[in-house]
Amino acid sequence: MNLEVKKKEFEWYLRDYFFKENKDKCDQDLIKDFKKDEVPPSLIKTYLRYRNSDPNEIRDLLNIVTSNMQKNNIIIENDEIISIYSNLDRKQCVQCYYINYLFKNEPLQCSKCNSKDLREFPPKKLSKENNKLS
């Protein structure tokens, strides 16, 4: 697997991680600051994909990906603390079905096929029956 693919894959897992850490939390309770040295062990623990990975390799990937994210103004990195501006929205691409995790200040665009046709994932169920009853 080449480095470009590895980086892209790693970024997906990192976004998934930020998303899950903040799932079900309201805005005020969001974890916005992540200690950078705690991220690689958490990723290795959380994701089967990285279960047998070398922590040093994860750390290297994290450094590359977070410095890119910082350049794109998605995160701030300071004194080994990764700060995120907002939680992420999970959106599925209508064209290629890829699941995207997007920060609120990022353009709505699929990172796999560049389509702008994204929808909430999982789709919100609008139950008319329940609305009638309540």
Residues at the interface with Zn ion (CB under 5 A): 93, 95-96, 98, 110, 112-113, 115
Strand partners, 99: 92
Q: Between 75 and 91, whose beta carbon lies closer to Zn ion?
A: 91
Q: Between 47 and 97, whose beta carbon lies closer to Zn ion?
A: 97
In angstroms, give the least distance from the CB of 79 to Zn ion: 36
Query: Could you tell me the sign of the dihedral formed by the alpha carbons of 6, 12, 13, 15, in that order?
Result: positive
In angstroms, give the least distance from the CB of 94 to Zn ion: 8
Residue 74: how many CA atoms within 13 Å on its side-chain side?
A: 19
Q: Between 31 and 113, whose beta carbon lies closer to Zn ion?
A: 113
In angstroms, give the least distance from the CB of 12 to Zn ion: 13
The owner of tokens 């691409």 is 93
